């Protein structure tokens, strides 16, 4: 089977690519990534020389390129991670999110319609549901929760999901969608909460916490997320949506304090800053459908997962320090200029 993973040089995508390459040596895994600021081919070092791995540089919103790629590669499965994903950036530059997250998705779907596909899987987010009140811990997002996007980022992802289901209904494309809670783990770009707090705490710099820090997120380890997606792609029912969550709710302040405690740093490093516009208060996912239908269970709870994550960042400081300095962008030019399709 030939699987194209779009956005495979990003955080979750690179963990997915490694998992597929190592778990299914009989499958060919093609990593398609535009290598924008969050794409880092150093994430793929462990598999870059494997015979069932190939990297192609390209833009999912480039129609001519995508159609040529489908014609040449004839993929069986598409797993679409490629997305602009940082909420703060979407507030400043929403048009970039429309181009990649919406138009990129419809371009891939048009290629599937033209050339055929066994499964198109859309990786989405729980943010399409909006948020939940802090005083109702009994409420959770289910697959039937109405879409109620709060940010330009979540609006673009919700739009993409609607297009995916519309192409399934109108053109019969075999699709599935997964909506996950907040991911954490190895290879996460250092602008996101957990790696940002780890790197800044190690440097004894102030840790910016939005508002009162009471915003609640349901934390999902990236490895558990990738195993869930693999289950959905191989065994999930066509035309269905599956929520992926870890049952690990923590306030942002609890997360930051956990990191400080693990690193032996004082809480005086915490600095409360002005909240961002439209900041969702609580996300919490009910993954019962995924658990019952496909037998998925997370390997990590937050306590074991955050310890593994902190240890990884402590043991791989060269990796994230190169990103902070911008050096990682040289890796593609140095290592891949003669080895990839451009």
User: 3-state secondary structure string, the chain?
Assistant: CEEEEECCCCHHHHHHHHHHHHHCCCCEEEEEECCCCCCCHHHHCCCCCCCCEEEEECCCCCHHHHHHHHHHHCCCEEEECCCCCCHHHHHHCHHHHHHHHHHHHHHHHHHHHHHCCCEEEEEEEHHHHCCCCCCCCCCCECCCCCCCCCCHHHHHHHHHHHHHHHHHHHHCCCEEEEEECEEECCCCCCCCHHHHHHHHHHCCCCEEEECCCCCEEEEEEHHHHHHHHHHHHHHCCCCEEEEECCCCEEEHHHHHHHHHHHHCCCHHHEEEECCCCCCCCECCECCHHHHHHHCCCCCCCHHHHHHHHHHHHHHCHHHHHHHHHCCCHHHHHHHHCCCCEC
CATH code for the part of the protein at 2-186+219-247+282-303: 3.40.50.720
The confidence score (pLDDT) of residue 62 equals 97
pTM of the model: 0.90
**In the chain, where the domains are located:** 2-186+219-247+282-303
Q: Are 280 and 90 a contacting pair, CB within 8 Å?
A: no
The residues annotated with a catalytic role in the active site are: 126-127, 153
Give the model's pLDDT for residue 252: 93
Calculate what percentage of the chain has a pLDDT beyond 70.
Answer: 93
pLDDT at residue 73 in the model: 98
Contact 18, 44 (CB under 8 A): yes
Please name every residue paired with 242 in a beta bridge, in sequence order, or none if there are none: 178
At residue 180, does pLDDT exceed 80? yes
pLDDT in tens, 279-306: 767 888 999 999 999 999 999 999 999 9
Please list the residues that pair with 32 across neighbouring strands. 6, 56
How big is the CA angle at 118 (ends 113 and 124), to the nearest 5 degrees?
80
pLDDT at position 340 is 45
How many Å apart are CA 123 and CA 176, to the nearest integer?
9
In this model, does residue 87 exceed pLDDT 90? no
d(CA 12, CA 189): 10
pLDDT tens across 316-338, in order?
999 888 887 776 556 546 654 54
pLDDT at 251: 92
What is residue 337's predicted lDDT score, i.e. its pLDDT?
A: 53
């Amino acid at each position: 089977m030939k699987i194209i993973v779009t956005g495979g040089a990003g955080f979750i995508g690179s963990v997915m690519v490694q998992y597929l390459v190592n778990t299914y040596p009989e499958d060919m895994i093609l990593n398609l990534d535009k290598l924008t600021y969050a794409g880092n081919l150093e994430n793929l070092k462990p598999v870059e020389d494997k015979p069932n791995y190939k990297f192609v540089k390209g833009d999912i919103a480039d129609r001519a390129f995508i159609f040529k790629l489908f014609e040449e590669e004839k993929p069986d499965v598409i797993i679409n991670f490629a997305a602009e994903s940082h909420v703060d950036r979407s507030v400043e530059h929403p048009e970039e999110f429309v181009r990649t997250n919406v138009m990129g998705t419809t371009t891939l779907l048009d290629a599937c319609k033209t050339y055929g596909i066994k499964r198109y899987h859309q990786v989405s987010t729980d943010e399409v549901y909006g948020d939940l009140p802090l005083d109702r811990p009994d409420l959770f997002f289910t697959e039937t929760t109405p879409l109620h996007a709060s940010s330009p980022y979540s609006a673009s992802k919700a739009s993409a999901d609607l297009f995916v289901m519309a192409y399934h209904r109108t053109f019969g494309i075999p699709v599935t969608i997964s909506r996950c809670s907040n991911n954490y783990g190895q290879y996460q770009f250092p602008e996101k909460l957990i790696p940002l707090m780890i790197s800044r705490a190690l440097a004894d710099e102030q840790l910016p916490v939005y508002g009162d820090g009471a915003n609640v997120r349901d934390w999902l380890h990236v490895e558990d997320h990738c195993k869930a997606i693999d289950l959905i792609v191989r065994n999930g029912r066509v035309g269905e949506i599956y929520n992926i969550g870890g049952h690990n709710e923590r306030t942002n302040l609890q997360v930051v304090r956990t990191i400080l405690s693990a690193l032996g740093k004082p809480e005086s490093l915490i600095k409360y800053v002005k909240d961002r516009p439209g900041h969702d208060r609580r996300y919490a996912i009910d993954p019962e459908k995924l658990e019952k239908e496909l037998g998925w269970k997370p390997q990590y709870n937050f306590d074991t997962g955050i310890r593994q994550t902190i240890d990884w960042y402590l043991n791989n400081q060269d990796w994230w320090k190169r990103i902070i300095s911008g050096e990682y962008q040289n890796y593609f030019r140095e290592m891949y200029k003669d080895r990839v399709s451009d």
